Amino acid sequence: MFLRRPWMSPGNICCALVSLFPKIVCTVLALWTLYVFELNIVYYDFIITRHSTFFGLSLGLIAAALSGMCLYLYYMVVISGSGSPLDFEELRIDDISALKRPSYRPENPYSAQDDPRGTSADSENRQNVVVPPEFLKIHTFNTGSNPPGLSVSGNSPTAYRYCVKCSVWKPDRCHHCSSCNRCVLRMDHHCPWFATCIGYYNQKYFIQSIIYVTVYASFLSGMSLSVLWKFFVDEKYTDEYLSLNLVFLFVVSTAIAIAIGIFMSISVYFVFKNRTTIEFQESRWNRTNEGPGGGFQYEFDSSGKQKKLDNIFDLGTMNNWKAVMGPSWTTWVLPIGVTDRYSDDHNGLNFPINEEAYEKWFNNAQLQYRLNQQLAEYKRKVQREREQER
């Protein structure tokens, strides 16, 4: 009887167990490191051996606070979720088959003349495309043939991005996650250690989590190293046994501090640049695998050298940081939410843009369009001349 229920199917049970495994590992690791620190370093070394009760208890409170913050932020990432356009009923597409893709001509993929942030009813009727709600349409870059193909979050030739699997409109910076089997708002990446996607609603908690983990692991590594150093310098090994837990604590905490520290630095750098991991990979991919019209993503300096256009969402280092982490230092340090599923400004559907960078992208798209038109006309002219010669 229970097996007939969808959530009791073998596949769902296996997925639940797989997603539960990293949570158990991270929880046990946080509690074990705290236990070893409090027992071997605080109690045995500082309170019993050195008779520094106050200093030892102070270190114990710091370790407990850092460990607790790491665990709390870990589960806030999981509980908050990344956010999905499926959470907005207005973005669901009742009949996905009604969407017809406009014809895509490789010789003229960017046939746009108007501002891609606007759209006309005439062009929509000509393309016979079902359009998203107005509140999304005015904030989403149109990537189709009319208006111009200024695609900042994909190379789809369709007018507005949508997901066939989820039957939902896809806002800018939204991507479908095959692991979560749903679209994710401003998707950064799918993290196996959280068994969830990192997206718009939980990215702040994720950044705070890896920062606190790096600080906590570095704290444990430094303290355990000092105790081990004193153990060998004072030659205590002649009449005492070395705690293996203390050795393991040093090795594990050092490895975590280095690994997570490197990843944390990269993630914080992306926040400063207002760029997700996916957008960074797409930028690298487009640089080495340019399709038709891909040249509009570049400009040329006075010396004729090719230069990558700026990120259209880059508003400056501090504004980029505040967009993710909140407006003040209290939100940067404390696990306080800064997103709002009901506000037009902080719901993951709308994003402010760099107007200067946008103008460059738009002008390059128009230039690319005119170049494609000229090349197509020249190609037709050559074909006609060859036919006449025959």
Separation of alpha carbons 282 and 276, rounded Å: 10
Residue 147 confidence (pLDDT) = 37
Q: How far is CA 242 from CA 54, 235, 236, 284, in A?
A: 25, 11, 9, 49
Separation of alpha carbons 321 and 210, rounded Å: 16
Measuring CA to CA, which residue among 128, 140, 190 is closest to residue 169? 140
β-bridge partners, 169: 162
Question: pLDDT of 151-178, one tens digit each?
Answer: 444 444 345 788 889 999 888 899 999 9
| CB count in 10 Å sphere of residue 65 | 12
Phi, psi of 192 (to 5 degrees): -65, -25
191 is catalytic: yes
Mean pLDDT of the chain: 80
Tell me the two tokens of residue 146. Answer: 């009319």
Residue 148 has pLDDT above 80, yes or no: no
Residue 108 confidence (pLDDT) = 36
Give the HSE-up count for residue 160: Cα atoms under 13 Å, Cβ half-sphere.
27
Tell me the two tokens of residue 136. Answer: 């999304």
pLDDT-derived band at 54 (thresholds 50, 70, 90) equals very high
Judged by average pLDDT, the poorest of 53-67, 150-164, 191-205, 358-372 is: 150-164
Catalytic one among 163, 174, 183, 191?
191
Residue 245 has pLDDT above 70, yes or no: yes
- CB burial class (10 A; 0-12, 13-18, 19+) of residue 314? middle
Question: pLDDT of 67-109, one tens digit each?
Answer: 999 999 999 999 999 999 999 888 898 877 776 554 434 333 3
Report yes or no: 296 and 246 within 8 Å, Cβ to Cβ: no
Rounded (5°) CA angle 361-365-368: 135
Q: How far is CA 314 from CA 84, 270, 284, 353, in A?
A: 23, 10, 17, 7
| CB count in 10 Å sphere of residue 14 | 10
Residue 152 confidence (pLDDT) = 45
Q: How far is CA 262 from CA 138, 257, 267, 284, in A?
A: 39, 8, 9, 20
